[in-house]
Amino acid sequence: MRVVTGKTMSRYQKYILPAGIFGFLLLGSAVMCRVDPVALIAGIPRGIDLFGQMVPPAWKTFPELVGPALETVEIAFVGTALGASLSFVIGLVAAHNMNSNRILRNTVRTILSVERALPDLIVVLFFVAIVGLGPFPGVMALAASSIGMLGKLFADAIEEVDPKPVESMVAIGATKAQVIRYAVLPQVIPSLIGNTLYRFEVNIRMSIFLGVVGAGGIGYNLVTSLRLLEYQEAMAAILTILILVTLCEKLSERVRRIIVGQELLR
Amino acid sequence: MLSVRNIAKRLPDGRLLLKNISFEVEKGEFVGILGESGVGKTVLLRCINGLTQPDHGEVIINGINGDGGPQKINEKRGQELRKIRRKIGMIFQGSILVKRLSVLENVLTGGLGRISTVRSLLYGFTDEEVDSALGAIDKVGIRSLAYRRAETLSGGEMQRAAIARAIFQEPCLLLADEPVSNLDPKNTEAVLDYLKPLTQEMAIIGVFHAPKIVSQYCTRAIGIRDGNVVYDGNPFLSDNTLEAIYSTGKHAPGATVDKTFPSPRETVTEWKQEDKDGAAMQIS
């Protein structure tokens, strides 16, 4: 028996009862989901068979994959760039030290958090619905879903800038645009670049997925191959995607290091 | 050149911080404002360049922007206010520098008011402007640091860079809010030695903690207590004066005024008593 916040709790209250409730919920949910280890084990031979059908990958289709793979990267690149630029402007509007209008600020922040709560798939389907199939709705979807996260992060970064240089520039008659350019931007640029690169990596993965719902890129090739039961072609697409994602992450890491390296040098 | 008339300022909590502050400053003066912590010295400086709006009274500046006419700073907004502020420099306690920009870039920002917004956004400083900024950096003796980032500078070097920015700005009036409070004695001396000659071009109003500094460098001292000017005159303060400014002479930081300079070297500025509260005013 121990004293917990002024009340004594028995061992039963403290451990057994919560464990019982948790166990009941877990077991119940698992049954509802028809979790069946036997089926999993029974499926192993089928898995091996499927993998056997996938190798060797149909590398002859590789030339056809290069175009869509590049398109995937392009969608992510344009979407991230567009989203990040808009996020900076939105960040300025949502930061209390840049915008004294509280109603506008809170409205923008609320919209951002609603956007973050919205599953990305819904955002994509929305843009497919309004601008049609192809890479453009993909770009718009990535830009829109990037704004939810980057807009908030940028606003927070802007709110944390050292106020003294900002005020000292206001004090000597600089315009608002000049203050943002010379006092705010230099202070937030590391955070801006770091978060944007991270979002680019997220967007590359999302961009692959976009092809599945018909918004362009290599994801479309993968889904088509799987539907046509061309497993060797599907494997080629999967490997291309793996290479693509790895390359992009290495690139982003490299860019980040170059910028951090400059930080240390200067 | 600058005329502060009957300034009153109430704090958000309702306390009347500044009750009735009036004084005039001419070019060539180096005015040191003294008073206890929290007496409103900083607020007073901020009222002068319009960062804070006084509840009562006016701040009038004369002979800037070529037209020579008197202008009420506290009634200006937007473009007009910016135009006046371009001629008023400001140095804060601690650093006003953007830490991630180089010293040169920081100094160049002093000229933002002179160049068009579009040109400044594209980093459109001309070679002449860069040379002139380097000249200002040279004047405060940190030429070798011009391309270093501000964050790598020591406190004394930062404050010198801030002065270089003010020199490059070419103001008529420089407001210095405790420019030396974070510095060791050696750097304090260096910074003040760079500030003082600037009075050939402009007027300087500085807020200081130590009466000793004021008597050593300023041409005039203004003491503030309970929201009123209690002393306005030569910077060589007697013990009685210090007692009038601070609660007791003993509590004054660095209260030991150098007595080897007992006589006023500068003309004592007449201070018209407009204060109805009858606050103690002494001229030593």
Q: How far apart are CA A189 and CA A195, in angstroms?
A: 10
The H or E element that residue A45 is part of is helix A44-54
Nearest Cα of chain B lies from the Cα of A93 at a distance, in angstroms, of: 19
Give contacts of B151 with chain A, Cβ < 8 Å.
Answer: none
What integer pLDDT is reported at residue B254 of this predicted model? 45
CA B232 to chain centroid, in Å, comes to 16
- Which part of chain B has CATH 3.40.50.300? 1-87+172-183+202-284
Domain final position from A35, A52, A69: A52
Over the stretch B227-282, which tens digit does the pLDDT of each residue have?
888 889 888 888 888 888 887 544 444 444 443 333 333 333 333 333 333 333 33
Q: Which two tokens stand for residue B260?
A: 């080897």
Residue numbers of the domain that contains A94: 60-265
Average pLDDT for B24-52:
89
Number of structural domains found in chain A: 2
Average pLDDT for B53-71:
79
Q: How far apart are CA B202 and CA A150, in angstroms?
A: 46
What integer pLDDT is reported at residue B270 of this predicted model? 32
Q: How far apart are CA B33 and CA B23, in angstroms?
A: 11
Q: Which amino acid is at A55?
A: V
Q: Which two tokens stand for residue B14?
A: 């309702």
Q: Which two tokens stand for residue B46?
A: 């901020």
A67 and A43 co-located in one domain: no
A10 and A48 co-located in one domain: yes
Q: Which two tokens stand for residue A68?
A: 């869509």
* CATH number of the domain residue A138 falls in: 1.10.3720.10
B212 in Cβ contact with B184 (< 8 Å): no
Q: Which two tokens stand for residue A13?
A: 């209250």
DSSP 8-state assignment for residue B56? E
A124 and A249 co-located in one domain: yes
Cα angle B121, B119, A191; round to 5 = 10
DSSP track, A55-76: PSP-GGGHHHHHHHHHHHHHHH
DSSP 8-state assignment for residue B57? E
What integer pLDDT is reported at residue A260 of this predicted model? 65
* DSSP 3-state of A164: helix
Determine the residue among A162, A172, A176 to mutate to test chain B binding: the one whose Cβ has the most chain B Cβ atoms within 10 Å: A172
Nearest Cα of chain A lies from the Cα of B254 at a distance, in angstroms, of: 28
A9 and A65 co-located in one domain: no
What integer pLDDT is reported at residue A5 of this predicted model? 55
B257 in Cβ contact with B215 (< 8 Å): yes
Q: Which two tokens stand for residue A134?
A: 């192809």
The burial class, CB within 10 Å (0-12 / 13-18 / 19+), for B144 is exposed
A42 and A121 co-located in one domain: no
- Residue B95: pLDDT band by 50, 70, 90 thresholds? confident
Per-residue pLDDT of chain A (266 residues), as tens digits, is: 555 555 667 888 888 899 999 999 999 999 999 888 899 999 999 999 988 888 888 888 888 888 888 999 999 999 999 999 999 999 999 999 999 899 999 999 999 999 999 888 888 888 888 888 888 888 998 999 899 999 999 999 999 999 999 999 999 888 899 999 999 998 998 889 989 999 999 999 888 888 887 777 888 888 888 889 888 988 999 999 999 999 999 998 888 888 765 654 44
A22 and A118 co-located in one domain: no
Check the CA dihedral B66-B72-B74-B79 and report its sign: negative
A42 and A127 co-located in one domain: no
**Sheet arrangement for strand B220-225:** B71-72, B56-61, B2-10, B16-25, B228-233, B220-225, B30-34, B203-207, B173-177, B88-91
Predicted interface score ipTM higher than 0.90: no
What integer pLDDT is reported at residue B262 of this predicted model? 36
Chain B, 33 to 62: residues with Cβ < 8 Å from chain A are 49, 51
A98 and A206 co-located in one domain: yes
Question: B90 — contact with chain A (CB < 8 Å)?
Answer: yes
DSSP 8-state assignment for residue B149? B
Least CB-CB distance to A178: which of B85, B112, B149?
B112
Q: Which two tokens stand for residue B279?
A: 């606050």
Q: How far apart are CA B165 and CA B108, in angstroms?
A: 7
What does each C-alpha distance from A42 to A52, A53, B112 come to in angstroms? 17, 19, 74
A98 and A219 co-located in one domain: yes
Q: In chain A, whose CA is at the least distance from the CA of B147? A: A266
Superfamily classification of domain B1-87+172-183+202-284: P-loop containing nucleotide triphosphate hydrolases (3.40.50.300)
Domain final position from A52, A76, A94: A52
DSSP 8-state assignment for residue B49? T
Find all residues with CB under 8 Å of B81, minimum gap 6, and list them.
Answer: A173, B50, B73
Percent of chain B with pLDDT over 90: 21
Q: Which two tokens stand for residue B5?
A: 């008339």
Tell me if B96 and A168 make a contact (CB, 8 A cut-off): yes
Tell me if B101 and A182 make a contact (CB, 8 A cut-off): yes
pLDDT, chain B, mean: 81
Q: How far apart are CA B142 and CA B190, in angstroms?
A: 12
